[in-house]
Structure 1
Amino acid sequence: MSVRTNPRPKADGWKKDARLPIFHRMMSMFGVLPPRADEVHKAAPGEKIPVFSELNQLVHLAPPVFLPFVARHLYYHYVSHDMGSPWVVWFLMFTYTMLFGMSSVLYMNRLVRRYGYLDGDVGRDTLPYNLIPKVIFEMVSASMLRPALVVLACYDPTEVPTLTIWLPVQLFLLTLTEDFYYYWGHRLCHEAESAWKIHRLHHTTKHPTTMLLAYADEIQEVFDIVGAPTLSWLTCPFGFDVTIVWMLVHLHLQLGGHSGLRLHVGSVLTGPFLRPFGWELVVEDHDLHHRHGWKDSYNYGKQSRFWDNLHGSAGDRIEGQGSNLDWNHYVSM
């Protein structure tokens, strides 16, 4: 096996080996490994980028995202007013978050095969053999820690499960707040040499794919998984059900942001509020960010371009210019 550990195009040739360790075999068998550039649709010259509207995204996202709330609501009203031990709730949400994350990865892979990659003439980075244990560990850690934080912060076993018509506004405020903390932490990593040392590993992938969301130094992972979300909730302390919905949608969007998917995909959490100002974030924005290194980068926000536009660090899109968008294309589920 190759000893080079950095992601690179066609680094996943190891998956053809019949004598793989169990975790490598599972990753290959479950189909969560990112498709290579030669396995996906290649856009023809002049082919416009389809627009994946937020409303269309919600058709796919709403059922799994709201399932925990529906289950809690039914349990409270038809079984018991005691919603159970925090440990039980944490374990259930940890399991559900893992399954939801895998489902999101599979969904992104299907879309990539159908619509292709941005910057399609360049090979997309895939996972070398030696990176699989690290990526799996960080996926499991994130699925354990984020539900644990939500349970510790706002779970009350006697509280009535509640969501209101203000949910879109609550999700928007929580997301914009998290993006504020992420923006400044991220920008600091690109503008201070000492901070760049904890971020440069993540930037060894210039054309990321979904599973490379979890490819980073441990300090950065702690900030992404624990730091920014905790600061956001302390700033906007919403209830358990709101925060669980936010956590799941946020995970889905983070995976999509690293997919390289050749679709104009806006964020369902912030896009409807920011599009009138041209400040919505799409997949290409973070994809372009990854193609740059230390001090020559831009697009530091992860859920919007609000802070980038406010502070002059937003960059122009290349393929996603308005004239190259196909607003009439319906993205099939």
Structure 2
Amino acid sequence: MSAASANRPRPHADTWLKNNSLPIIHRLIRFLEILPPASDEVPQHSMKDKVPVFSELNQALYLVPCALLPFAVRYVYYHYVDHTMPNPWIVWVLLFSYTLVFGARFVRFQNRLVKRYGYLDGGVGRDTIPYSQMTKVAMEAVGGLTLRPALTVMCAYDRNAPPSLSAWLPIQLFVFTLIEDFYYYWLHRACHEAQSAWHFHRLHHTTKHPTSLLLGYADEIQECFDIFIVPFMAWLTFPLSFDAMTAWIIIHISIQLHGHSGVRLHYGTILTGPYLRPLGLELVCEDHDLHHRHGWKDSYNYGKQSRVWDTLFGTGGERIECVPENLENRFI
């Protein structure tokens, strides 16, 4: 194995976990138990085995309380403590801390699903993080969980405005998500079709079978666009209130993580799935997993929240395991 290959994500790259002497970041990651299970530690399936369906209702039971907790805290504070909310810096620190805790908790949740249901394309080992890249991945993850709350505070926070959510919140989040996905689709597609842009995206594609934390294995410029610029453009197009934007950020983080998890479930998203599933345009985990198995100009499935734009512009790909005839009749 070349030195370059040894420093890239690959199956069983995380053997460093067994070392007793590790830097503080590596020890923290090990303590948090957020690294993915190895492929040979999870159930093995052929591509013809039935795939369980993770219902949107059960996803909502897990995600909606997490997404609405910041609003609930703000509501109680405003009505029972002080009508003037804390200054933006305090709100940003609190929101960052919350997304950090939520992110770690959600990765562990994904790992439990993997241990129960296995990986897509199970005959191929899942990529894990080598010792040399652990600090980068951790810093990218923390950076993403820093910029998202910063965007929310910068765009929509008003300390004098009372907490509020519209009864139309599900529709608002759906429309906002489709707009965000439109901007992301074209940026992502450009990274694959223009050589100059591929330079900023190719690192992320050195992992062909990613796991959740490898969401953050990317160049900083790509991360900045994905995490900050694209949602900012969507907000300029369709502004959300602070409380709605906060709820969207929390659910959006979960979608990004499960889209890279490789978990062998028909696993969609509550932001767009209920509206798009009747049209056959919902996005599931396998769609982005298939995207990663391809390289520069031979890829497809550029959307991250839906298959609307891939279908409209002819860049969608066929699923292999999560096709209708291969799905279990029961839901989890």
- Using structure 1 for the length normalisation, give the TM-score: 0.97
- In structure 1, the gaps of 5 or more residues are none
2:14 to 7, 12, 15: 12
- In structure 2, the gaps of 5 or more residues are none
State yes or no: 1:105 paired with 2:107: yes
Work out the number of aligned pairs and report it: 330
C-alpha distance in structure 2 between counterparts of 1:45 and 1:232, whole Å: 37
Contact 2:55 2:331 in 1 (8 A): no
Write out aligned runs for 1:22-171 (5 A).
22-43=24-45, 46-171=48-173
- Deviation at residue 149 of structure 1 after TM alignment: 1.2
C-alpha distance in structure 2 between counterparts of 1:22 and 1:305, whole Å: 41
State yes or no: 1:184 paired with 2:186: yes
- Deviation at residue 45 of structure 1 after TM alignment: 7.3
C-alpha distance in structure 1 between counterparts of 2:48 and 2:174, whole Å: 35
C-alpha distance in structure 2 between counterparts of 1:3 and 1:33, whole Å: 20
C-alpha distance in structure 2 between counterparts of 1:313 and 1:248, whole Å: 28
Task: Provide, for residues 174-219 of structure 1, a one-character-per-residue CA deviation record: whole Å limited to 9, x for no partner.
Answer: 1101100100000001111111111111000000000000000111
Q: Look up the match of 2:227.
A: 225
My pick for the range that moved more, 207-216 or 147-156, is: 147-156
Point out 4+ residue stretches in structure 1 off by more than 4 angstroms.
Answer: none
SS of the equivalent of 2:53 reads strand
C-alpha distance in structure 2 between counterparts of 1:19 and 1:2, whole Å: 24
Write out aligned runs for 1:212-251 (5 A).
212-251=214-253
Contact 1:189 1:199 in 2 (8 A): yes
My pick for the range that moved more, 62-71 or 111-120, is: 62-71
Q: Look up the match of 2:286.
A: 284
State yes or no: 1:313 paired with 2:315: yes
What RMSD in Å do the two structures reach over aligned CA positions?
Answer: 1.3
Contact 1:2 1:129 in 2 (8 A): no
- Deviation at residue 46 of structure 1 after TM alignment: 4.5
SS of the equivalent of 2:218 reads coil
- 1:46–1:199 Cα change, 3 Å: closer
Aligned residue type for 1:79 = V
- Deviation at residue 146 of structure 1 after TM alignment: 1.1
Task: Provide, for residues 275-294 of structure 1, a one-character-per-residue CA deviation record: whole Å limited to 9, x for no partner.
Answer: 11100000000000000001
Contact 1:3 1:130 in 2 (8 A): no
Aligned residue type for 1:277 = L
- Using structure 2 for the length normalisation, give the TM-score: 0.97
C-alpha distance in structure 2 between counterparts of 1:167 and 1:3, whole Å: 46
Task: Provide, for residues 226-248 of structure 1, a one-character-per-residue CA deviation record: whole Å limited to 9, x for no partner.
Answer: 11011011111110000000000
C-alpha distance in structure 2 between counterparts of 1:23 and 1:233, whole Å: 34
Task: Provide, for residues 153-176 of structure 1, a one-character-per-residue CA deviation record: whole Å limited to 9, x for no partner.
Answer: 110111111112200111001110
SS of the equivalent of 2:202 reads coil
SS of the equivalent of 1:8 reads coil
State yes or no: 1:269 paired with 2:255: no
Identity %: 58
Contact 1:284 1:320 in 2 (8 A): yes
